[in-house]
Chain A
Amino acid sequence: MAKVLILAEQRDGKLKKTSFELIQFCAKSGHETHVALLGDGVAGLANELGAQGAKVVHLAEAPELAMYTAEAYCKVLVELAKSLSPGFFFAAHTPTGREAMALVAQELEAGYASDCTSLQFQGDNLTARRPLYAGKAIAEVEFLGTGTRVLTVRANALGASAATAQTPQVQKLSVNLAGLKTKGLSVVKGATARPDVTEAAIVISGGRSLKSADGFKILEELADTVGAAVGASRAAVDAGFRPHRDQVGQTGKVVSPSLYIACGISGAIQHLAGMRTSKCIVAINTDPEAPIFQVADYGVVADLFQLVPALTQEFKKLKEH
């Protein structure tokens, strides 16, 4: 069976969970699972990767790798891939993975499938499927050549599998990063940890029924459990509860997150126009006839002031698993 190589991601010396499900998946499928770990002073993380199922951790350390840059990562990963010749080279489709792996694939002249949402191994055959047209169609990717196949996988698509923990073998890579044309300068954290409504994966919105700017605090607490953005209907913005940049709707921002939770929003057309393409819509409203329930995947007829805090508790419990 072919070897697989997986890019593990770390930031500030902490591993990101996005690669774990890939490692678990590949290890479970019986492939010899290699993991690439790049950074500066990150050797200590290797065992954690083993705990997920990595047999070999290829460690590349250098000051130039302290901060991710596509060019540096690409150089290291290409060299590794050329020497290892894995059948498959995976990464999560994160800001890092989606950028670097395409460069790697092109350099290796390998076939590349990005943002896959389902993988199925049958021995050395891999069926990879990915979404198209904003998820309105799904297709299988056929790799036309031989050689390493490069793939990025959407976060949470595979789900967790039981890890076959082991102590990994750690192989140190020699790293030569002279003559790079790009340089990572710094990472600037957001003013709040909360993302902007437009590109957030999860948006939690409130309407006028929150009654005041303070009322939105319960939405903020809910948002913080899942790293969501907080949006608002026009009525709430007009009433001064939230700033205009948070307004979702025809005359505000048009958003298309994976999850949109509308709290106390009736769903008039002006608002719907701004969020109806969200993948999953949840509506919380005391009025069972509110138009928002027509587009919601899940509806809860309840008082948001009671439901939202309860939901916050439930989300916190889930995060612990």
Chain B
Amino acid sequence: MTWQTWLFLPVFFGAMGYSLLQIRRLGKLMKASTGKTRVMDEMGARVRETLINVLGQKAVLRDKKAGIMHATIFWGFLIITLGTLEQFVSTLVEGANFEFLGSSIYQALVFFQDFFTVAVLLAVGYAFYVRLVVRPERLGKSKDALKILAFTGGLMVSILLMNAFHLAGTQPWFASAMIFSNLLSGLAPSDPSICMAGYTFFKWIHMILVLGFAMYIPHSKHLHVLAAGPNTFFKTLTVEKGMQKIDFEDETLTQYGAAKVTDLSWKDTLDTFACTECGRCQDLCPAWNTQKPLSPKAIISDLKKNLLRNQAAILSGKIEDVTPVIDDNVTEDVIWACTSCRACEVACPVFIEQTDKIYAIRRNLVLMESRFPAEVQNVFKNMENNATPWAFSASDRANWSQGLSIPTIQANPNAEVLLWVGCAGSYDDRNKKVVTAFASLLKKAGVSFAILGNEEKCTGDPARRIGNEYLFQTLAKSNIETLNRHQIKTIVTSCPHCFNTLKNEYPDFGGKYQVFHHSQYLVRLMNTGRLKPAKNFDETVTYHDSCYLGRWNSVYEQPRSLISAIPSAHFVEMTQNREKGMCCGAGGGRMWMEEKIGKSINIVRTEQAIATKATVVASACPFCMTMLTDGVKAKDLQSKMKVMDVAEILDQSIS
């Protein structure tokens, strides 16, 4: 036992003990988050996802430059840690090492450790360059980040120096495998005792840096090294997801939604620990990019700050002293600015679900505090009294179909498929034309279909997105009762919001149907030869991805297939498309709210469409159609650019 052992023990246990206490504290904060999570099942799939994304760095590598930089540091960290472990062991027990692994394995180990030490150092250098010279907006200013990079860089430098002195002082058998340290050792003085002193000195510098880093991590965003893995393991397994339901029958529930940060779930809290503030979410947020105060990165960070600000109260069990989640940072404007486009969730390399928290907060604002934009009250009243968010009569719902020989389910109970019209198709003049075109296509294809007619009610999507879960459930249950009564099995709809709600959210309430979006259904009909586009469409067409079709349900290709199948239609892609497509601005219930801050989202998206020089902007959603049409009008380009639904484009190509 040397003096090093005696020094190492208290230093090591002191530092690690401190770190573990911090982690236990964070664990208690997670436990105090009492909101409900989704069911955590399918362990096999979870393990697979974690291996691919954590070990394989798949999600991180979506951004090539940053991805390679991070993967280098991460994989380097993994292998260098083995070296650090060896160090600790050898300090504890003099002469102990990992050479028992065998010559080839050990040489490979030290080779990679050495290689990665330099690679990580270069990556850190690159990271400093990006943060201090390039300064992209998404990173913001972060002293925390600079400290982390300094720690990491310092660790690598100390390892290199330590190794260089070690190799110079002892000339071990595996020296040549450590290429860079070996090279560096050439600069060391020849006196072995000086070299060993140098080795010991830098070894201790390294160990103190490691232990210091371990103590710093729980207080910094570098906490992600501990939280990201579990966060990936516990993520929602599919991109497709519905919002979680509240069980109003549960009499023990007194709080609906999140009034305080402790009303969120442990998974939400874990999300805030896993965030590295990389800003990929912020870069794609349509609200942030049009000067609204909402940044998905900031809201996660602000929720964590709220949690930590209140930790004394939380840990002593005084939840009543916890301050509200709405504060100077997470303002009401921030919460209402969200369009639920989920670009943030799809971009996040550690699978944080930002929207879950925003909508939990909305639920509290609406259900508990009746605090929401004034114009929304009418929307609720209309849905309560007339089963549609617009002020129209429920008994006029089927008027659009008059004279079109479209059977109701009562008249055609054995129909192959139910055409779910939706409120826009029923009441909005422009969208009536879209549903009419789709119905015409179904007829041309010889599909036996029917509509619910006046029995159809709004799916409740606007209510749920705005936060009125109770109103949503009232409508959902009524629709499900109707659908089940008519024994509906298959539904097709031209509205992605209806599509998403019927497919991903109705099952929670006993409504399980096979649901198609009209673009999917039309592609099927084309592929089976029942629809053959024939007439030319001499236009340059670009396609705007609907968020509820694309990011919410991964339907990107079918609308494009429809357009590409039209003879002489020339397709051009917008710069921001598919997962990176910019929202039209109408989601998240924002169709029903005034946009008072910043530039209008729909104008920005329209500008992106105009930049493609297309003559037709195609969409597959009634809200997108409304937003883009308004955008084209605002730019006074109605004569140069048409907005059409993919069904309309297909219909006019088939006699």
Contact = CB atoms under 8 A, between A and B. Distances in A.
Direct chain A–B contact by Cβ atoms under 8 Å: yes
Given A251-B375, A251-B593, A291-B429, A268 B391 contact: no
Interface string A264-292: 00011100011010000000000000010
The interface centre, meaning the residue of B424, B428, B593, B626 with most chain A CB atoms within 10 A of its CB, is B428
Contacts of A294: 429
A250 B378 contact: yes
A68 B390 CA distance: 41
Given A268-B626, A269-B429, A274-B391, A254 B634 contact: no
Interface in A226-260: 235, 238, 250-252, 254
Contacts of B633: 208, 235
Contact of A250 (B429, B592, B630): B592
A267 B427 CA distance: 12
B375 A267 contact: no
B392 interface: yes
A235 B630 CA distance: 9
Contact of A251 (B392, B594, B626): B594
B391 A250 contact: yes
A235 B592 contact: no
A250 B373 CA distance: 13
Interface string B179-214: 000000000000000000000000000000000000
A269 B592 contact: no
Contact of A235 (B375, B427, B429, B634): B634
Contacts of B626: 268-269
Contacts of B594: 251
A238 B391 CA distance: 22
Given A250-B378, A251-B375, A291-B429, A269 B593 contact: no
A7 B447 CA distance: 69
The interface centre, meaning the residue of A267, A268, A269 with most chain B CB atoms within 10 A of its CB, is A269
Interface residues of A, number: 15
Contacts of A269: 390, 424, 427-430, 626
Contacts of A254: 378, 391
- Interface size class on chain B is 10 to 19
A276 B600 CA distance: 27
The interface centre, meaning the residue of B375, B391, B430, B593 with most chain A CB atoms within 10 A of its CB, is B391
Interface string B128-143: 0000000000000000
Interface string B418-439: 0000001001111000000000
A273 B593 contact: no
Nearest to A266: B633
B593 to A, nearest CB: 7
A252 B373 CA distance: 12
Interface string B372-399: 0001001100000000001110000000
Given A251-B593, A268-B626, A273 B375 contact: no
Contacts of B391: 250, 254, 273-274, 276
A273 B390 contact: yes
Contacts of A267: 429
Interface in A201-215: 208
Contacts of A276: 391-392
Interface string A56-83: 0000000000000000000000000000
Contacts of B427: 269
Contacts of B375: 250-252
The interface centre, meaning the residue of B378, B379, B593 with most chain A CB atoms within 10 A of its CB, is B378
A97 to B, nearest CB: 31
Interface string B155-172: 000000000000000000
A250 B634 contact: no
Given A268-B626, A269-B390, A273-B391, A251 B429 contact: no
A254 B377 CA distance: 12
Contacts of B630: 235, 268
A235 B375 CA distance: 16
A235 B600 CA distance: 12
A208 B375 CA distance: 21
Interface string B337-365: 00000000000000000000000000000
A11 to B, nearest CB: 35
Nearest to B382: A273
Contacts of A252: 375
Contacts of A208: 633
Contacts of A291: 429-430
A267 B424 CA distance: 15
A146 B593 CA distance: 56
Nearest to B392: A273
A250 B378 CA distance: 8
Nearest to A291: B429
A134 to B, nearest CB: 12
B123 to A, nearest CB: 48
B19 to A, nearest CB: 52
Nearest to A237: B594
A268 B630 CA distance: 10
A308 B375 CA distance: 31
B96 to A, nearest CB: 73
A274 B379 CA distance: 12
B320 to A, nearest CB: 37
A288 B594 CA distance: 29
A278 to B, nearest CB: 12
A133 to B, nearest CB: 12
Nearest to B595: A238
Contacts of B429: 267-269, 291, 294
The interface centre, meaning the residue of B390, B392, B424, B592 with most chain A CB atoms within 10 A of its CB, is B390
A207 to B, nearest CB: 10
A167 to B, nearest CB: 54
A208 B633 CA distance: 10
A276 B430 CA distance: 17
Contacts of B428: 268-269
Nearest to A234: B594
Nearest to B593: A251
A206 to B, nearest CB: 15
A58 B634 CA distance: 62
Nearest to B622: A269
Contacts of B379: 250
A297 to B, nearest CB: 17
A247 B143 CA distance: 47
B217 to A, nearest CB: 48
Contacts of B593: 251
B511 to A, nearest CB: 27
Nearest to B596: A244
Interface in B599-655: 600, 626, 630, 633-634
A251 B390 contact: no
A208 B634 CA distance: 9
Contacts of B378: 250, 254
A57 to B, nearest CB: 47
B585 to A, nearest CB: 13
A274 B390 CA distance: 9
A276 B391 CA distance: 9
B473 to A, nearest CB: 24
Interface string B28-54: 000000000000000000000000000
Nearest to A274: B391
Nearest to A254: B391
A265 to B, nearest CB: 12
B24 to A, nearest CB: 50
Contacts of B600: 238
Contacts of B392: 273, 276
6 contacts: A250-B390, A251-B592, A251-B594, A254-B391, A274-B391, A276-B391
* A-B pairs with lowest CB-CB distance, top 6: A251-B375, A291-B429, A269-B428, A273-B391, A273-B390, A251-B594
Given A235-B634, A251-B375, A251-B594, 11 more contacts: A238-B600, A250-B379, A251-B592, A251-B593, A254-B378, A267-B429, A268-B430, A268-B630, A269-B429, A269-B430, A273-B390
Interface of B: 375, 378-379, 390-392, 424, 427-430, 592-594, 600, 626, 630, 633-634
